[in-house]
Structure 1
Amino acid sequence: PHSTHNDWLNCDSCHVKLFLPAAGVNNLNMSEVVKGNACGVCHGKVAFPLNDCARCHKPKQELQKIKADTPNKVNVIDKKSDKKGESKPKP
């Protein structure tokens, strides 16, 4: 999402009060965003709403390719699991 913000925001709009300026060090999760932290400082208020998921979230196959291309920088969490890589038992 960095490049989509560069054209119209200054670096200090987000760094360092919201995000540290280094790849792979910011732990982003939707529970924090919904609480109004991280991306949620703007999104849902002055930027597009939080229920427009496809604006940020990519199909699982695309996320897996991104993770493979940038190891240790992208966390892909499977929605069918509680934790990274651990499947939930089927009911």
Structure 2
Amino acid sequence: MIRHASGAVRAALAVGVLLAAGPALAGSKLQKLPTDYVFPRGDGSPGPVMFSHESHVDAAKPSCTTCHPREFRVLEAGRTASREPIRHDRMQAGAACGACHGKTAFGFDSCDMCHK
């Protein structure tokens, strides 16, 4: 069924599945989260960036809708909602990772916080 649904319908179904799993995610080990994602290394990048849901989800109060689908695509790892590339200038302007980083989460002062 999901295979034939539109992108918006697939995204809504995916968010619904993740929300329904909410209580299961609240344990000490977040087992239902997607695997870590390594972004392709861009020109001039000091190192690869690995995104981990485990370090971005509050285990006591998990919520996928904080980022999905508003900032990032649900079924396409490493893609923004608008499908624009994730770039530093856009992040520093508040897009993608910059929706939190530089505001409520650590900023862009130290490259090695994200680039390993």
TM-score range, shorter chain: 0.5 to 0.7
Distance in 2 (CA, whole Å) between partners of 1:5 and 1:15 is: 12
**Which of 88, 101, 110 pairs up with 1:30?**
88
- Measured against aligned partners, the alpha-carbon deviations of 1:15-58 in whole angstroms (never above 9, x if no partner) come to 00000012243421111101111111111111111112211111
Q: What's the counterpart of residue 20 of structure 1?
A: 73
Between the two structures, name the one with larger relative contact order (CA 8 Å, sep ≥ 6). 2
- Secondary structure of 1:54's counterpart equals helix
Instruction: Name segments (4+ residues, structure 1) moved above 3 Å.
Output: none
1:48 aligns with 2:101: no
Q: What's the counterpart of residue 10 of structure 1?
A: 63
Say what the alpha-carbon RMSD is for the aligned residues: 1.7
Structure 1 vs Structure 2: percent identity of aligned residues?
Answer: 40
Q: Which 5+ residue runs of structure 1 have no aligned equivalent?
A: 59-91
- Measured against aligned partners, the alpha-carbon deviations of 1:45-79 in whole angstroms (never above 9, x if no partner) come to 11111112211111xxxxxxxxxxxxxxxxxxxxx
Q: What's the counterpart of residue 84 of structure 1?
A: none
Amino acid at match of 1:25: R
- State the aligned residue count: 58
